Amino acid sequence: MVEAQPGERQGEADPRPAPGTGPSPAEEARSEQRRRLLRRNRQTIALLGCVFLLSFLLPLLEGTHLRICPFYLITGIPCAGCGMGRSFCALSSGHLLEAFRCHLLGPAVYLALLVALLQRVSEVLLGRRLAWPRRLARLTNPLAILALAVLLGVWVVRLAGYWPLP
């Protein structure tokens, strides 16, 4: 029978791992990679998480109509993104047509942000960066420029009165 060491009760296991039984170097590297990805992605995950959480919660405050756009408050003219928040809220409530009425690009931006959130969360959970196809990676800047041009084009159409403003 094994005698208990001083300060140890009989039959109680030693909480320290036996030498050589700790995590392998590969497991330690994967854990460090996961921590690095979490540090890199935590602000984006938190920001996008808040956007989606608010888009679900704000419709519960029926009867409130918040205008927080600084451009609108200063100039009285709706900005290119005015109506995007209401569009997100409509989408989160399942009202697709209302979302398009609030902002024509709202559903596309909502989907893009949702994909970005899922990508960042997946990277943290998997412990590795997700690689985009090379062709798509090369198109990132041209697509961003195109998206900005479309946003400005929709803004001009809305200001001209061809699409209702929120």
Amino acid letter, 116: A
* Per-position b or e across 33-63, b if 16+ CB within 10 A of its CB: ebeebeeebeeebeebeeebeebeebbeeee
Q: Is the pTM of this model over 0.75?
A: no
**Could you report the per-residue pLDDT of 4-42, keeping only the tens digit for each?**
555 555 555 555 555 566 677 777 777 787 788 888 888
Regions in the chain scoring below 70 on pLDDT: 1-22, 62-66, 165-166
Domain ranges (residues) in the chain: 30-159
Max Cα-Cα span within the chain: 91
